[in-house]
């Protein structure tokens, strides 16, 4: 099963759990396979499923920790390959401001936090990455928010139709920072 198909299935399971009860987690250990590419339709389906799942949690995702961690995650995804150009920043900003769940927050708060991390990553990538991961770690206190940060990162990473190895690597690091198993998200 291709990576995006597995992620889509995992997202559906997480969504069902979110709707059916709180406090449960999934194990994703039963899925093996490669981290190979996937068909474009699978990517679009995955992004759609995760957007729906996040939308179902919109009322729970209103904390400053989620907002700040999500902006750090978005900046890390944008800079995953080690650099960010003006077109990427503009595209990422559009994705952020168009995200249903992130509309819980004033656009200027989102822009300010996103640009702060992008600037740090641009000036000194290793230091900026460490600071972004520290911001992401603050969401670890609430498992729903921690998972939503990773899901937001996956949605943003997959929005351009290409889910690079560098983006997957950044998402795995964020999982470790949040004490989540990357296998839960098939990363």
pLDDT digits (tens, 9 = 90+) for 67-82: 999 999 999 999 988 7
pTM: 0.73
Can you state the percent helix, strand and coil of the chain, rounding each to 5? Answer: 75, 0, 25
Average predicted confidence (pLDDT) for the chain:
77
Tokens standing for residue 77: 């995804």
Residue 150 pLDDT class (50, 70, 90 cuts): very high
Q: How many CB atoms lie within 10 A of CB 179?
A: 10
- Decide if pLDDT at 21 tops 50: no
Query: How far is it, in rounded angstroms, from Cα 29 to Cα 45?
Result: 22
Tokens standing for residue 165: 């190895």
Query: How far is it, in rounded angstroms, from Cα 12 to Cα 105?
Result: 26
**Under 8 Å between Cβ of 71 and 39:** no
First vs last C-alpha separation in the chain: 13
**Under 8 Å between Cβ of 144 and 178:** no
Tokens standing for residue 89: 């920043």
Is the alpha carbon torsion for 107, 99, 173, 123 positive or negative?
negative
Tokens standing for residue 72: 């750090």
Quick check: helix, strand or coil at residue 56?
A: helix
pLDDT value of residue 98: 85
Tokens standing for residue 91: 């595209």
Between CA 15 and CA 12, with CA 1 as vertex, the angle to 5 degrees is: 5
- Decide if pLDDT at 40 tops 70: no
Query: How far is it, in rounded angstroms, from Cα 151 to Cα 174?
Result: 11
């Amino acid at each position: 099963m291709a990576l995006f198909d597995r992620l889509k299935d995992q997202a559906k399971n997480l969504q069902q759990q979110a709707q059916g009860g709180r406090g449960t987690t999934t194990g994703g250990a039963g899925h093996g396979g490669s981290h190979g590419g996937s068909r474009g339709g699978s990517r679009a389906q995955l992004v759609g499923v995760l957007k729906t799942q996040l939308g179902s949690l919109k009322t729970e995702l209103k904390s400053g920790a989620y907002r700040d961690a999500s902006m750090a995650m978005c900046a890390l995804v944008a800079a995953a390959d080690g650099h960010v150009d003006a077109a990427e920043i503009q595209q990422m900003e559009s994705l952020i401001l168009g995200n249903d769940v992130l509309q819980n927050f004033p656009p200027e708060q989102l822009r300010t936090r996103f640009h702060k991390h992008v600037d740090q990553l641009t000036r000194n990538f290793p230091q900026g990455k460490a600071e972004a991961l520290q911001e992401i770690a603050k969401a670890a206190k609430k498992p729903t928010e921690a998972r939503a940060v990773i899901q937001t990162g996956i949605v943003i990473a997959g929005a351009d139709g290409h889910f690079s190895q560098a983006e997957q690597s950044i998402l795995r690091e964020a999982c470790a920072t949040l004490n989540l198993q990357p296998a839960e998200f098939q990363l």
